[in-house]
Structure 1
Amino acid sequence: MRPISFLAALPALALAACGAPDDNADTPTPDGTEDAMPVEPDGGIGDGATPPGADAAGGIPTALHGRWGLVAADCTSTRGDAKGLTEVNGEAVTFYESRATLGDVAERDGDSIRATFAFTGEGMEWTRDMALEAADGGEALIRTEYGEDAMPEPLRYIACPAEGDA
């Protein structure tokens, strides 16, 4: 008789193991819309996708990405002499003869970051406490360094036109 009662309880145990249904599934947000599941770049479900408009956790904010020049000619030079050209992506800042890779982040929001950057260039390596901040509605980038051997004043870069727009 004991084996039969165990078998009768098996479906109930299986349902309990599945957990309770999500009471918040498909629940509209306060503005009446539903939260969409992020999608991976390859079209897969969002099991790790960054929601649209958001940055990868801890990276350089998207608002700072792009090509920036100290003067307009830095954006258009074809002779390789654009010494004031700076390129920013999610993990690094590239300069004329050096590259700064993002390290420990001290402060970060949607349009600025202050962090330790590991520099390499011309056979040397060094670290720098540096801040990047969008200005003028995203048309300018302000770079400020802190600590020993830091630049005495912040540098102001202008946004380069998107490639093909110049």
Structure 2
Amino acid sequence: MRSVFLLAALPLALSACQQSPESSDEVPAAVETLPAEPDGGIGTTPADPPSETSTAAGEASAKTIPPALQGRWGMVPADCTSTRGDAKGLLTITDTTLKFYESVGKLGSLESRSDNAIRAQFAFTGEGMNWTRDVELSAAGDKLIRTERGGDQPGGPFTYTRCAA
């Protein structure tokens, strides 16, 4: 530990011994400056760009599906209780995804958002295909209404009931 301190203090001691030019008329030798390192210098890492979770709370929540819509929703009661993997009417909503039986939609651009509703573009993948849909979700108590627009098969409204926790 002591040798580390001495090594760190050595450049300071050497710079203190340097003499300044004798006359203010003398032009000092050109000093070559090194460009700043992209990572901020030795031993440091670049600052991470702000993530959705590190931005202001209102800004982050505006880029997510409202908490009132998140959770598990079934079209029929058996969708919520099936243990055989055949819950074809189950919709699981997270902060950024809609997960159906054979497809997943990732939140894209928002058109509108409130505490219990959202209308946004979702990029879907499933069964080897990709597509985009304008999806509107709204909740009232334990009921969720989903309506899809755009694409070749717009549909709805579809009604879901919140699954028990």
Scaled by the length of structure 1, the TM-score of the pair is 0.63
Q: Within 2, Cα distance between the matches of 1:88 and 1:55? A: 17
Please report how far the alpha carbon of residue 145 of structure 1 lies from its aligned counterpart in structure 2 after TM superposition: 0.6
**CA distance 1:133–1:50, change in 2 (3 Å):** same
- Name stretches of at least 5 consecutive residues in structure 2 with no aligned partner: 1-53
Fraction of identical pairs, as percent: 54
Does 2:152 correspond to 1:149?
yes
Whole-angstrom distance in 2 between the partners of 1:114 and 1:70: 20
CA distance in 1, matches of 2:60, 2:161: 22
Partner of 1:130: 135
Q: Where does the alignment leave 5 or more consecutive residues of structure 1 unmatched?
A: 1-46
- Decide whether the 8 Å contact of 2:123 with 2:130 is kept in 1: yes
- Letter of the aligned partner of 1:96 in structure 2? Y
Q: How many correspondences in the alignment?
A: 113
What SS does structure 1 have at the residue aligned with 2:78?
Answer: helix
Rounded Cα–Cα distance in structure 2 between residues aligned with 1:118 and 1:76: 28
1:11-160 alignment runs, 5 A limit: 48=55, 50=57, 56-135=61-140, 137=141, 139-160=142-163
Contact 1:132 1:143 in 2 (8 A): yes
Separation in structure 1 between the aligned mates of residue 113 and residue 155 of structure 2, nearest angstrom: 23
1:55–1:62 Cα contact (<8 Å) kept: no
Query: TM-score under structure 2 normalisation?
Result: 0.63
Runs of 4+ off more than 4 Å: none
Larger radius of gyration: 2
Query: What is the rounded CA distance, in whole Å, between the counterparts of 1:73 and 1:151 in structure 2?
Result: 25
Query: What whole-Å deviation, never above 9, does each CA across 1:36-66 have from its counterpart, x for those lacking one?
Result: xxxxxxxxxxx75738xx9723210000000
Amino acid at match of 1:129: D
Task: Report how far residue 127 of structure 1 moved.
Answer: 0.2
- CA distance in 1 between partners of 2:74 and 2:154 (Å): 17
Q: Is the 8 A contact 1:55 1:61 kept in 2?
A: no
